[in-house]
Structure 1
Amino acid sequence: MSDDQSADNGSYVVVARRYRPRDFTQLVGQDHVARALQGAIETSRVGHAYLFTGARGVGKTSTARIFAKALNHPDGPTANPDNESDVAQAIDSGEDVDVIEIDGASNRGIDEIRSLRANVGVRPSRSRYKIYIIDEVHMLTGAAFNALLKTLEEPPEHVKFIFCTTDPEKIPITVLSRCQRFDFAPVESDKIVQRLREIVEAEDNTVEDEALELLARRAAGSMRDSQSLLEQVLSFSDGHLTADHVHTMLGTADDQRLHRLAEAMANRDASAALLQIDEAVAAGVDAGRLAEQMLGYFRDLMAVAVGCEASLMRYAAASMHGALGELASRWGLQTVLAIVGLVDETLVRIRHSVHARVLLEATVIQVCHLPDLQAISDLASAASGAGGKSAGEKKKRAAVASPAAKSVAAQPASEPSGSAPASVDEPAKMRVDSAATPSGGHLAVANSAAPAAVAGVPSGRVPPVASSSQAGVQPQAVSATDTGSAGSGAPSQSTAVAEKPAASADSTTSTDGYPQISGDEAKTSWTQVLQEMDPMTATLAKAAERVDSPEPGVLRLIFPGNSGLALSRCQMPEHKEEILRTLSRVTGRRATLQFEATAVKKVEPVAAAKPKNRNRMQRMREIQANPLVQSCVELLGAEIVRVDTPRG
């Protein structure tokens, strides 16, 4: 391709037209389409209708022309047409009578399609096929598509249709099913750079590699856009194209300026960030364009944060991969994702505002004051995963917390670790230290004469230390508990060191080694449990007239016989689990729930009948005082609006 494609009168032809591909070998980035079309020609499997889809400037119309030249080659259909033939040159210039190019945007009505149908039956003038190339075919009206359907399905043997579109979703499925569809991919940046370098050399100019990379990234996969940008910058330069020329001509900021702006935001220095924006605007960078570049920069920062290589960076130079990795580690993925969302929202607002700079500066300041979202996410993950620790992790944590636990467990129950065994009759010297656990329980270590440590106690399941007056005995026992994995179902192992046996209803434990609720604890702590419970569940549980524990480890809620609604809702899994969680958190005890309803008391008839003609307000007060009505009003937020007299 050269200047021989210029018009005869010497007028200038733009780069995108002069260096347009003229055969399948010159197509850039669409090798799969070229091979498929060449194979169809060589095997005589050419269809009657083709649909080329893809973004703008990726070679759809150029491929359609090349395909038309291959089909109408004078020596028969060939995969490698001769560009010097009269037919090929006429098709390249758009003057061939047998290759009709139609703009679907301006010829979209049913009248134009009727005219096309009338001319379809006319045989080609000098070529083998009459080929219709309809660009932007999705712009045709529904009536035009309907008029084209029958002709498209069964055209004459001498007619071929090639449709090109950037929006295939707008084409009726009846048309799509009648075409062979080829999707054109965006052209890769390195291939665009290579093609632009060939054009610059053909134009007798020189260029920096960084400048070509900037143009390729700005084109976003469109070969035609990259060539248009190149021509714009060539007219600005003096024969040597540099990165500064590209930034100056396109009004964009260089990668280092963007990185300095990001560094200022990462340091939470809003003043320095606004200074970077001011310097960029003073250098000719448009504020809206700077916001677009920021979105691309943070896209690459997001890619680096998840571990992508430099080859997957689309907007920043590959040489900045290390700097972006360091910045991503400081910010964290969650914070970067939040910034991407903020910048995207700002771009939407900028498109509808004349104060682009103000909106950009406000966004930058907002980013400077963002909390550390990654740290918050890590804490949430750690909290949610604490209950699912493996047995090995728990044992390791227990060993670090209490190295003496193994020695206690290895000795007989009658011999505490340390020096000589203590006499049974000798009164034990006791020390009780308690420490609050994160979930509200307490951790106790007793018996100074035989020191031992409590290891592996799960948080939230250790009861408060009972005093001697509460338990009825002097605290003398020290237990070391090593719990297994929650999912293993293995019973916990415990070793007790005691000088005198101690028994109490409050110290009853279940088969898995955890303390169980008792009747006294259930009654004394129920008020506090209701206060710390979820408000909705607490409202339902308050309907219970009393609580008791018929046996250790069982909490029974007894509801009045007329509170069936509250009873049924308390038995729902979400409310039941909330009651158990709060009970365990407050008392440190484990329990199972039972629900019971008392018998409904029958109201004996009153000897003296009430007057029948009671006024409306009196009946309203009586109904409002009814416990069942009160429960409905409290639970559902209801309101009494009408009182109906019972029938019969």
Structure 2
Amino acid sequence: MSDAAPASEKDSSYVVVARRYRPRNFGELVGQEHVGRALANAIETGRVGHAYLFTGARGVGKTSTARIFAKALNNPDGPSAEFDGSSDIAQAIDVGEDIDVIEIDGASNRGIDEIRSLRANVGVRPSRSRFKIYIIDEVHMLTQAAFNALLKTLEEPPEHVKFIFCTTDPEKMPITVLSRCQRFDFAPVEVAKIVGRLREIVTAENAQADDEALELVARRAAGSMRDSQSLLEQVLSFSDGHLTADQVHSMLGTADDERLHRLATAMCDRDAASALKQLDAAIDAGVDAGRIAEQLLGYFRDLMAVSVGCDPSLQRHTAASMHDELKKLADSWGLQTVLAVVGLIDQTLVRIRHSVYGRVLLESTLIQICNLPDLQSISDLAAAAKSGQSLSGAARPGGEKKKLTNSPPVAAELVPSPAATHDPAPAKTTPSPGSETLADTTPQPAVAAPMPPAETAATPAPVATNGTTSPPRSPDASPANDPPNSESTGTATATLPRMALGAQNVEQVFSEALKHVPQMTASIASMADLRYSHDEKSGKPVIELVFPSDSGMAMRRMNLPEHRGTVTEVLANITGDSVNLTLVEGAARQKAKKVAPASPKATAKERMERIREIESHPWVQSALKTFQAELVKIDPKS
């Protein structure tokens, strides 16, 4: 019995870490130096207001700062930022027992009766201090009637009264109250500052802790100093005097960074089976499915930050030492895919909170992520198609070829290569099993074949269905025996005539070249006038396409690689030498005035027949259906 009594007495006198290591003066405030400096300057310059509002998240130091401010105002030697913390008044304020510093819980004293009692006692002067200070915590919990009863007293209180309001939700307070207070916003405490404070506490408690373990506790606190100290006390009780990262994960039921990285890597490799195994191992280790989803969201938040080029200091949920690994994974995955994964995990978290089958929901989300198409490559291809660049250069820099085993080969169907637009049936290549990649499905430009002999060139070449010439076929050759050749994917250079280029025949050569390019390219190029010259440096022939100044759209389109590059290639094959093709803007063309011949006025019957004829035309019906449009007006026949 003699041993039990002291143990019981010891337990009853124990004070938790968060209270024992509470800041006692402005110098001990961690993470809120801007607030402490402003309040200290207000005291030193005599600019102390009558009402203050401290806002911020839980555990960031609002109430502690209010007590420090009260001790500074009621310093026995007069208001001072450097007050005596050992005085009776300061010690009474620290434990919340000072008669002139009244702390009120707004959540449990939120009615109008409590505010009426406060108003009745406001006129009574303080007993032993200079000011009577009211600290109302969670003030946003007061009722509307209570706020209304407080307004007049708050605006014009007696000289000896000061109000300090603390709240985590200032948006719920009436604007009439907010306008009567000096507002100070308390920011979440940075992880590095929390780690420094936890290190001081561990040293004071005669314990040891790894830096990685303290960083995990600080990150888990999410900017709350009080939460970090409560977690530290919890894990110190679990450890044997030396705190490690594994003990923190085991106590808090969280997955370590390496486990999350392995899970993300499995999803990036499109290995759904491996991802489910990683998830199963984490759950068997005691990690809740909802907690894993929250950690995955934080992990992909950091991966998103690394994808856009942020440095390790902006990683909020992973260790800074993992920046290089995250960079590799971000380059391999792509920003667009990472953004899609963030959205999927966020939706899963909402569903998990309203379901008892959190594990099943998380597993289905992991499988969805493993089956996502390469969204970054799709975005790059779309951007390349819009700008007219070659698709071969649309690959992500640093990105690896990834297998799209469970997704359709969307990249090959988006935009064909400029060199492959001539032939509707490109040469097919048979990839080895399991080697189909995004880059393998993109048509490649054909390599020009050598010029044939003169007698072969003299043979008439059959014309293909798309308007280009195809290579000649031997009379005794059959389609089944045709060997594969490079001309099937590009311009049929083997049948192009050889012509010398000069100032006299530039139009003839250019017209011949337009016969072997796509019809759209030929139509655009034919809008320009031709000029022939030589490059002074290289001596190469130069053909200038002079576009009228009012045809800027045609000039811009002609400058795209799929038009300009195709014409240049055909000209080089015809002339046997490279030709510089330049675009020049000329003067506007004079439009000839057309005098419309007089035509007899159509009768009403003829007009109706023409309207019905136009409405029933297949092209008009297709346009109406495609654009979901309707006919508004039909101009009369000229």
Distance change in 2, residues 1:115/1:196 (3 Å): same
- Out of 100, 122, 137, the residue aligned to residue 98 of structure 1 is 100
In the TM superposition, 1:84-483 aligns within 5 A as 84-386=86-388, 448-450=497-499, 453=513, 460-462=520-522
Residue 632 of structure 2 is aligned to residue 567 of structure 1: yes
Code of the aligned partner of 1:111 = D
**Partner AA of 1:371 in structure 2:** P
Question: Which letter does structure 2 place at the counterpart of 1:597?
Answer: P
Q: Give the SS at the match of 1:143.
A: helix
Q: Aligned in 2, Cα 1:349/1:567: closer, same or farther, shift over 3 Å?
A: closer
Give me the CA root mean square deviation. Answer: 4.0
Q: How far 1:44 sits from its partner (Å)?
A: 0.1
Q: In structure 2, what is the Cα distance between the partners aligned to 1:129 and 1:318? A: 48
Distance 1:109 1:437 in 2: 87
Kept in 2, the 8 Å contact 1:444–1:454? The answer is no
2:55 counterpart residue number: 53
- Kept in 1, the 8 Å contact 2:139–2:165? The answer is yes
- CA contact under 8 A between 2:302 and 2:316: conserved in structure 1? yes
Tell me the residue number matched to 1:615: none
Distance 1:435 1:512, change over 3 A: farther
CA distance in 2, matches of 1:167, 1:206: 37
- C-alpha distance in 1, partners of 2:323/2:220? 19
CA displacement 1:357-390 (0-9 Å, x = unmatched): 11111111111111111111112222233399xx
Aligned residue-pair number: 473
Partner secondary structure for residue 132 of structure 1: strand
State yes or no: 1:533 paired with 2:572: no
Q: Taking structure 1 as reference, are residues 567 and 29 closer, same or farther at Cα in structure 2, changes over 3 Å only? A: same
Which residue does 2:409 correspond to in 1? none
Residues 86-132 of structure 1: CA deviation (Å, up to 9, x unaligned): 00000000000000000111111111111111110000010000000
CA distance in 2: counterparts of 1:106 and 1:220, whole angstroms: 27
Structure 1 residues 46 and 345 mapped into 2: Cα distance closer, same or farther (>3 Å)?
same
Matched residue SS, 2:355: coil
The answer for the alignment partner of 1:584 in structure 2 is none
Is the counterpart of residue 597 in structure 1 residue 636 in structure 2?
yes
Structure 2 CA distance for partners of 1:145 and 1:436, relative to 1, 3 Å: farther
Tell me the distance in 2 between the aligned counterparts of 1:437 and 1:386. Answer: 23
- Matched residue, 2:15: 13
SS for the counterpart of 1:596 is: coil
Q: Quick one: distance in 2 between partners of 1:10 and 1:538?
A: 79
CA distance in 2, matches of 1:215, 1:455: 73
Between stretches 482-491 and 137-146, larger displacement belongs to: 482-491
Q: Does structure 1 conserve the Cα–Cα contact (< 8 Å) formed by 2:514 and 2:522? A: no
Residues 1:31 and 2:33 aligned together? yes
- For the 8 Å contact 1:305–1:325, the answer to whether it is kept is yes
**1:175 & 1:456 partners in 2: Cα distance?**
80
> Displacement of 1:461 after TM fit?
4.7
Cα distance in 2, alignment partners of residues 398 and 375 from structure 1: 19
Q: Whole-Å Cα distance in 1 between the matches of residues 462 and 164 of structure 2? A: 89
Runs of 4+ with >3 A deviation = 7-10, 428-438, 442-447, 451-465, 479-498, 510-513, 526-534, 536-540
Aligned partner of 2:426 in structure 1 is none
Structure 1 residues 119 and 9: CA distance shift in structure 2, 3 A: farther
Matched residues in 2 for 1:448 and 1:456: separation? 11
Q: 1:537 to 1:17 in 2, by over 3 A?
A: closer
Residue identity opposite 1:326 in structure 2: K
Query: Shift of residue 278 of structure 1?
Result: 0.8
Which digits, 9 at most, give the CA deviation of each residue in 1:61-96, with x for residues without a partner?
000000000000000000111110000000000000
Secondary structure of 2:632's counterpart equals helix
Q: CA deviation at 1:455?
A: 12
User: What residue identity is the alignment partner of 2:497?
Assistant: S
Instruction: Indicate the residue corresponding to 1:408 in structure 2.
Output: none
Q: Distance in 1 between matches of 2:69 and 2:254?
A: 39
What is the CA distance between 1:13 and its match in structure 2? 0.7
8 Å CA contact 1:104–1:136 kept in 2: the answer is: yes
Distance in 1 of aligned mates of 2:303 and 2:90: 48
**Partner Cα separation in structure 1 for residue 629 and residue 161 of structure 2:** 78
Q: Distance in 2 between the 1:384 and 1:430 partners?
A: 39
Distance change in 2, residues 1:537/1:86 (3 Å): closer
SS state at 1:181 partner = strand
Q: Deviations over 1:565-596 (max 9, x none)?
A: x234xxxxxxxxxxxxxxxxxxxxxxxxxx61
Give the corresponding residue for 1:82: 84
Rounded Cα–Cα distance in structure 2 between residues aligned with 1:107 and 1:169:
20
CA deviations on 1:376-415 (whole Å, 9 max, x unpaired) are 1112222233399xxxxxxxx999x9xxxxxxxxxxxxxx
SS of equivalent to 2:166: strand
Cα-to-partner distance string for 1:265-292 (whole Å, 9 max, x where unaligned): 1111111111101111111111111111
The answer on whether the counterparts of 1:430 and 1:448 sit within 8 Å (CA) in structure 2 is no
Residues 1:443 and 1:158: Cα distance change in structure 2 (over 3 Å): same
- Secondary structure at 2:635 match in 1: strand
Residues 455 and 481 in structure 1, CA contact (< 8 A), matched pair in contact too: no
Specify whether residues 321 and 534 from structure 1 end up closer, same or farther in structure 2 by C-alpha distance, changes over 3 A only: farther
Q: CA deviation at 1:483?
A: 8.2
Taking a change above 3 Å as real, the CA distance of residues 9 and 235 of structure 1, as seen in their structure-2 partners, is closer
Cα distance in 2 for residues equivalent to 1:488 and 1:128: 81
CA apart distance, 1:352? 1.1
The alpha carbon displacement at 1:190 in A equals 0.3
Does the Cα contact within 8 Å between 2:515 and 2:522 map onto a contact in 1? no
Paired residue for 2:43?
A: 41
Asked if structure 2 preserves the Cα contact closer than 8 Å seen for 1:300 and 1:314, the reply is yes
Which amino acid in structure 2 is aligned with residue 149 of structure 1? L
Greater alpha carbon shift after TM alignment, 526-535 vs 51-60: 526-535
TM-score w.r.t. structure 1 length?
Answer: 0.66
Structure 1 residues 387 and 305: alpha-carbon distance in aligned structure 2, compared to 1, 3 A threshold: closer
Tell me the distance in 1 between the aligned counterparts of 2:28 and 2:516.
71
Q: Deviations for 1:458-511, whole angstroms, at most 9, x for unmatched residues? A: 98454599xxxxxxxxxxxxx97858898588698999999xxxxxxxxxxx99
Residue in 2 that maps onto 1:602: none
- Distance in 2 separating the partners of 1:183 and 1:331: 39
Asked whether the 8 Å contact 1:435–1:444 carries over to 2, the reply is: no
- Please give the alpha-carbon distance, in whole angstroms, between the structure 2 residues aligned to 1:459 and 1:110: 84
Work out the CA distance in 2 between the residues paired with 1:455 and 1:174: 80
